[in-house]
Structure formats: C-alpha cells, structure tokens
Chains A and B, each alone.
Chain A
Amino acid sequence: MAWGEFKDTAAERRLFQRRALVMLIFVVVMLSGLVARMYQLQVVEHETYSTISEKNRVQVQSIPPPRGLVYDRNNVLLAENRPVFSLMVVPERVENMDQTLADLQRILDIPENELERFERRLTERRRPFEEIPLSFDLSEQDIATMAVNRHLFPGVEVKAELVRYYPHAELTAHVLGFVGRINQEELQRIDPVNYDGTNYIGKSGIERFYEQILHGQVGYQHVEINARGRVLRVLERENPIPGEDLQLHLDLRMQRKAHELLDGRRGAIIAIEPATGGILALASVPGFDANKFVTGISVPDYQDLITDLDKPLFNRALRGQYPPGSIVKPMLAIAALDSGATTRDETIWDPGIFRLNEGGRVWRDWKRGGHGWVDLMDAVAESCDIYFYEIASEMGVDVMYQYLSAFGFGEDAALDVSGAQEGLLPSREWKRAERNQPWYPGDSVNMGIGQGFFLATPLQMATATALIANRGAWVEPRLLKDIRGDGDVKEALPSEYHEPLILKNPDDWEYVVDAMEAVMHGPKGTARRAAEGASYRMAGKTGTAQVFSLEGEEYNAEEIRERLRDHALFVGFAPADDPEIVVAVIVENGGSGSSTAAPVARAMFDAWLEELPAVDAGVLVGNSEQAQVR
C-alpha cells in the first residue's frame, strides 16, 4: 500500500481484534445492564408500576346526588336546582395560560373577582388534570360564543352543573337560608366520601338544618380515561341517591303577606299554626337575595349588604333579641294566678307611679296619671304597668323565672330552625355569675313589664303566645311538614322535649285568654282599633320595647330620631277560642305596639282566616275586596 510508512498489517489486525474483543465485552456488559434494568422494572417493581398504570387508566369519579327540593305547604317550589353553565379549565391541557386567559377575556366578559379566584386556585395543590372553574353562570350568549370558538381553546370547556336556585329570592332567604361553596372549615366536618363531587353545602336556615336529608348519597363511576382526562368508557357505575324533597309548613302567600306588611320598614313577623307548631311565616325585613350567595357573592355586593344600616342579612325573627316589654304580661298573669301572687278578684289602685318603699325609686306607668282601680283583666287589657310592678315584686325573680322558662323564654325551643338565639331570661344565678351582683327587688319590678335584663326573640314571643293559645300544651315550632321519599318526619325532627304547663286551675288559661281578647275587643283594650270590624274574636297583647331607657322621665317619641324610637311589639292569636294562627310582630322603631304592630298582626289574621281560605275555596279569583266584606 502506498501510504509512505511501514505498516505491519498482521500486527494491526491483531491489535484491532483485541480491541474488538474489548468492545464485545463492553457491549455484552452494557446490554446486560439494560437487561438488569428491565428485570428491575418489569419483574422486581412490576407490582408498583402495575398499580400506577391502573391508577392512570381507571379513575373513580364521584357523581354528586341532586339536592332535594323544598316546597311550601301548598307545594309551591321554594328551592330548586337549576343547570348553570360554568367555564372550566384543565391547566395541563392549556398551552399558554396567559394567552388563553387574555383571549377568553376578549370574547367573554369574565369578572375580575372570578379571574383572581381562578389564579389563586391555579397556584394551590390539586390533582393532575383536575378542572378549575374560571367563570360561573355563563349567559346564553357566552355559551354560544364558547361553542363557536371552542377549537381555539384546548383545555377550556363549558360544563353544566346543578346549582341551587331560590325562585322567591328575598321572601324566603331568612327561612330557607342558602347553600354556598364548601369552605375550609366545613371541609373538616363533612364526610369527605359523601361530599366528593359536591360543591355546595347548606350554610344557614333549612338548607343547613336538613343538609343530610337534602344532600343524598354520592354515586360512583369507574371510568377509563386517557392522558388528557377524557373519559373513554364507563366501566362500572353506582347511581347516586338523590336528596329527599322537603315540604315545609310555610305558606308562601303568608310569607309574601308578611313582607308586604313590613315593606319599607325593619321588623319581623312570625306566624305559627298552634295545633301543629308549624311555622306559617317567618319574615325578617328587609330580606336579601340568597341566590347571590350560592355561587359566591361579589365583593361590592357583599359590602353593600353588610354596610346597609337596615342590616338585611340580620335575621331579626330568630336572632333579634329585644326586651319583650308588655307582651310578657299575659304570661306573667298566668304565673301570678298560678303561684297565688294575685287572684282574679284582687284590685289595686294605680296612681301612675310605683315605689318599692317610701321615698325610693319611682317606676312610672306608661299612662300619665294611671289607670285608677284595676284588676288583673283590666291590667292586661289596658297594659297597666303598676299592677305588674306589684305582682312582680310579690312573685320575685325565682317564681317569674320558673314560669317564664316554662313558656320557652331563655332557650331555643324551636325544633328545626337553625341559628336561633336564646334571648336572655334573667335569674338570680345569672346576675351573680354574669354581673357579680345580687338580684335587687328593683330588678324584679323591671322584669314585671318585660324590661331590665330580659331579652327575647320574636320567635320566642310567638312560641310563648302559642302556649297560651294551646292552653298550656307544648307544641314546639317547626318548619318541616313532610319528607317526600323514604324519610320519616318524626325521625328527621328533633324530639319534642317540653312538658305541658299544667295549672292548678286550668280555667286560668281561659281567664288570661279573655284578658287578651279584651286587649282587642274590650272598651279600653290597647289594640281595640286594630280589631275593629273583625268577623272573628282574637286575643292579643301589645308591647313596646325601649331602644334606650329613660329612667323616671317621660319623653316624646316624636322628638327622638327615627332609629332611636321604641320598637313596636304585638303577639296574639285568632280565633280566640279555637286558635288557628299565632302571630308575633316586631316593627323596629315603629313606636307603639297598638298603633303599628297590632294592625300588622290583624292583617295576618285576616289573610289566614279569611282571604286565603276564600282563595282556596275558589270563591274569589283576584278580588280581595269581597274577602274583606265576607
């Protein structure tokens, strides 16, 4: 060969063959390494990877049960489920998130707060290929726009979801409450299995109290999915058990009536059917649109609600704690008669002022100059304070506490009303514990007209009045009337635990009912004007709760700014001898109970006893005047 140098071809061949042998060994060793690796993965760790592969392939998807519906006593739908279309994003499938969001915003109007929430959730831990909601409640226009442009947005999809809807928004918000997205705290207490796939939970009211019944049982499906999270086929399915439908005692027409009566004012109305304890109306005005809370209320809307001086979110009927004022007089009359502090025949001279001892503190009657000679009947009818100062100091706190407890004051006696306050029924022990003071006789005097430390909610006032209407038989107030489906109302409702209030002389009930009738129909009854022209007899009691107290001085309500005026109170039932409805009314800053609250209650009585039965009987179609005439 012409390479210019001496080449030992035999030596070069041997050299190469040695090197080739080295390479052969190298190749065998390296391939053995690969075989060892395969052995490790496919034989030693086979189980592990098999599991991962199976987990990749098969996903257990939960199917949330549809939430039970809520109806009123006439089967009017109060809470339903409406399909809402949301924009969902699977981040893994989006190529350029910023670009996608910017493009989406050009064609859809995504609210700023939803965008912020989405970006926050994007940074949180989550399962791979899990969808994150971007925008809720898309309009028809938005859905159409997305349908046309879908191919431009891989990883973005419109998904239908059943969301709670309250057709009578403001009317029912304080009764039904509302559902909302499950928060961190609720996540701790719910059953994670049953709520897997459920996005909403009852936050208040009936929705909260009957959450378990309304929610139902989650269903499952095992699905084969591909890497992009697309479901290819369903391998196995267990259907969810839908939540059960509830029927409430509530009558939407009464509820609407109550709202109309309080329109433009602040206050609460509770109407109870005494025989069943069923709550016919539970109104707190102003109300709010609960639908706004379901998918998450916007910050400005929420700000408006919480800064509103009228406090629309505040449930006055359950949580408003007011001094009950004179409306406790019928209950104290029962206490005084039964405990022997007074008798039906006992009369006292009312000079308009009361002193515990000579030269001591003066308690005044609401009526300047007093009522003259009064017995217990007159004292209730005319709401004579002096008489009740007398019997209160005669009974003392312990006796009053005992009887008022039996009327349900100082406790949440309702069965299925969530979030009700307990009010405050003061006692010797309470004052010692809370104020570190002894109970003074003067405290008993205040308590005798429902003032002082004594606080009660409108619901408690209605409950106590219902006890009189039922002549001592306890029927706890409740909302649930029936469960559609397998559920048993008796099981769903908490058990009734109150003992009936049995008087030594059961006729005392009739005496006090007569006194309450005298309030409405008597010549000097404080609410006689509200009862004018009624075709039925009613029993009631007016009251006035002081917003702030002016001790020993008289004042002119007109001079005080509107919001510092007294709250007008009224409790009552009708017909007096066979009650079908019990009503408690509070009109905040309404002034006197007789002029403001009593007419409201009268309108509720009329509606329940005359107008609605007339409508139901088909006598009257859309003409309310005839009903009045009847």
Chain B
Amino acid sequence: MGMKGILGTSGTEGFGRQKRLWSVLHIDPVLLLLLFLLVIPGLFVLYSGADRNLDVVKAQAIRLVIAFAVMLVFAQFDPAVFRRWAPWLYAAGLAALVAVLLVGVGAKGAQRWLDLPGLPQFQPSELMKLVVPMMAAWYLSRYFLPPTFGRVLVGLAIVLVPMALIIEQPDLGTSLLVGMAGLFVVFFAGISWKLITAFVALAGVSAPLMWLFVMRDYQKQRVLTLLDPQSDPLGAGWNIIQSKTAIGSGGLDGKGWLQGTQSHLEFLPESHTDFIVAVLAEEFGFIGMLLLLGLYLLIILRCLYIAACAQDSFSRLVAGALTMTFFIYVFVNVGMVSGLLPVVGVPLPLISYGGTSAVTLMAAFGVLMSIHTHRRMISA
C-alpha cells in the first residue's frame, strides 16, 4: 500500500541512524514535532488567558513535562501488553468508578476524584478514556471482523456501563468522551451501516427520554441556553455571549497577543481553562484559528495514518478510536466556545489549563507511538 511505501522508502545513511534512535526510544518524530508545535504556542496563549500569571504557565509546563514523560512510558509497552491487560484494567476501572460514587471527593456537586491512601488523587473516569476503547477493541478483535450483531451488543455494553457510572458522578463531558471512544471502536470494527443507521435512529428516539429521565437540570439549562443565549444574558447565557463576542471581535488577524480585552477585562469566563480558544481567537483572529485547526488536522491525519499502518486489529481499533476521541475533544470544545454546542466541560486538548486531561491525552499518544514503533518489519 502507498502508506507503507512512504515509511519504507525513507532514509539516507544518517537519517537511518536517526530513525533507529527514534525506534529505540519508541517515539514517532512526526507526531512528536506536531505535538510540540501545538503545546509550545499553547503556553503563550495560556499566559494571556491566565491574565499574565506566570505561575499558571509554569504549573502547566510542569504538567506537560509529566504528560510527555507518561507518553514516553506508554510508548515503551508493546501493544500486546495493553491487549493482555485490557480486561483487568477495565475491571479495575469499573471498581474505581463505583468507589468514586461511594466514597469519592469532589467539588461543585460532582464526585469525580478518588482519594486512596498512598496514591495521589486521581480521576478514574479519565483513565477510562483509554481503558474503555482498549477493552472494546480487546473483545471485538478476538473474533472475526466485522462483528456479529450479538458481539456488537456486547461491545456496546462494555461502553455503556462505565458511561452510566460516569454520568452518575455527574460528569457529562467525560462520559461523552469515554462513550465516543468506545463507539468509535465499534465503528472501526466494521459494524454494518444498516446497524449504524438503526442506532442513530434509536438515539434520536431516546433523546426525549434522556431529556426527561437522565439529564440533570443544569445540563438541560445548558442546552436551552445554547438555543437562546439571550434568554438569560447575565446568567447561563453570559458565557456564550461573551465568548462569541471575544471570537467575533478578533476579526481576521486578531487584536494581538495579550491585547484581548474580553479576556483581560474578565468578561470571558474560564479564559484559561475551557474557554481558552476564545482567547486565541480574539488575539490571533481567524488566521490564528486556521493555524490551530490545521495543526489539529495534521495531528489527526498522522494518527489515522498510524492506525492504518498498524499490524493487528486490536492496535488498529485502539489507535483509530483514540484518534477520533482526540478529534471529539477539539470539535466539542471549539463548537461549545463558538456557540454551536451546549456548554459541556471539555477542555481544548493540550492547551487548556489542567493536568488530568493533558496526561490522559499524552498517554493516548504514547499508546499510538507504541503501536507505531512496535511493528514487526515483515518486509525486512
């Protein structure tokens, strides 16, 4: 295939040594470069979004270093290890999610954290973003693909159980991302289009039921606010109005770094966390947004390429699902900040302030690098 050709034809003598170095370290240099291109300018945007608070930038830089370290660690494992461990990790994850509901700690009416003695505080739901697609891939790739209807149902159950537990916390954003990760596995496994159509139809029918029985009041409010932000311009609609104003006022080339009035005068809420893309859009304009989205597209392209190159179904499914999860992050966050989607707590990957999501995301990239660098050179 053409894709394999690109990989096979690369390399002079010196480049070959370099290549060997990368493969010893189990790093994909292209992906690494793209990630650096995203993360380093991201720190500058964060500096502005945090209103020139250098401490915030330092803290985030340390987290990113940790996250890159985690990526490196994950990249060292053979994908087979992930496959073997998938069921056990999944079981442990479910247990942790149950534990969160029973003894978890948290803030703002949601229990998301587990504070086990001897371990740092962590969010089991974050871990599930990796574990759920692995588990689904583990199950479906045991059999021939595309899966039978029964196996699809089992695959869906694997996804829905942790989703339900995370919704209970409640944490709609994470639950959505975990669910999407799992569903993408089922999709990549080759579930028939008829079935996809049927599920989409089912989802359409069950949406009103979700509205009535599952969604919390504040979640409903967010959806209503999205439809008509002016209905409550000082309350729930404030975020959307102010972030749209920030984005729109940026214009073609932006107001300039640190010159965004919406964020620096505190009109824009959460300007260094979930709404940071509005800061970027205000200060760097449409051109800045094109560069950002272009960079994300390049990362996704590289990751899909890695997935396509993978040598076994488990790796392909995991790689494909993690890539699409990353995309969902981008789409949901930018869509939310620009007023296309309701406000859900999804950060802009690798730019928003916050450690947990950065670590999980980089771990996912570690898995992708692992898949890419542990290929057996069949042709060689």
Contact = CB atoms under 8 A, between A and B. Distances in A.
A43 B247 contact: no
Contacts of B265: 56-57, 224-227, 232
Interface in A1-55: 1, 3-9, 12-13, 15-17, 19-20, 23-24, 27-28, 30-31, 33-35, 37-39, 41-43, 45-46, 48-50, 52-54
A506 B296 CA distance: 106
8 contacts: A5-B143, A27-B327, A31-B330, A34-B334, A38-B289, A38-B338, A42-B252, A56-B267
B108 interface: no
A128 interface: yes
B129 interface: no
Contact of A23 (B146, B244, B246, B304): B304
B252 A49 contact: no
A92 B334 CA distance: 27
Contacts of A15: 145-146, 190
B250 A42 contact: yes
Contacts of A150: none
B142 interface: yes
A228 interface: yes
B248 A49 contact: yes
Given A5-B143, A23-B320, A43 B286 contact: yes
B235 to A, nearest CB: 10
Contacts of B316: 12-13, 16
Contacts of B285: 42
Contacts of B331: 30-31, 34
B37 interface: no
A211 B317 CA distance: 81
Contacts of B251: 42-43, 46, 50
Given A6-B144, A53-B249, 11 more contacts: A16-B316, A20-B320, A23-B320, A24-B300, A46-B248, A49-B245, A50-B251, A52-B249, A224-B265, A225-B265, A226-B266
A18 to B, nearest CB: 9
Contacts of A16: 188, 190, 307-308, 313, 316-317, 320
A583 B320 CA distance: 104
B290 interface: yes
Contacts of B289: 35, 38, 42
B11 interface: no
Interface of A: 1, 3-9, 12-13, 15-17, 19-20, 23-24, 27-28, 30-31, 33-35, 37-39, 41-43, 45-46, 48-50, 52-54, 56-57, 92, 128, 224-228, 232
Nearest to B324: A23
B215 interface: no
A41 B234 contact: no
A19 B196 CA distance: 13
A34 B335 CA distance: 7
Interface string B238-265: 0001101111111110000000011001
The list of the 6 closest CB pairs from A to B, nearest first, reads A49-B248, A53-B249, A226-B265, A227-B266, A42-B286, A227-B267
A50 B145 contact: no
Contact of A226 (B184, B267, B313, B320): B267
Contacts of B106: none
Nearest to A53: B249
Contacts of B33: none
Contacts of B340: 33-34, 37
B67 interface: no
A92 B234 contact: yes
A56 B143 CA distance: 60
A20 B245 contact: no
B304 A31 contact: no
A19 B188 contact: yes
Interface in B288-317: 289-290, 293, 296-297, 300-301, 304, 307-308, 312-313, 316-317
Nearest to A48: B248
A154 to B, nearest CB: 14
Contact of B190 (A19, A24, A34, A45): A19
Interface string B96-139: 00000000000000000000000000000000000000000000
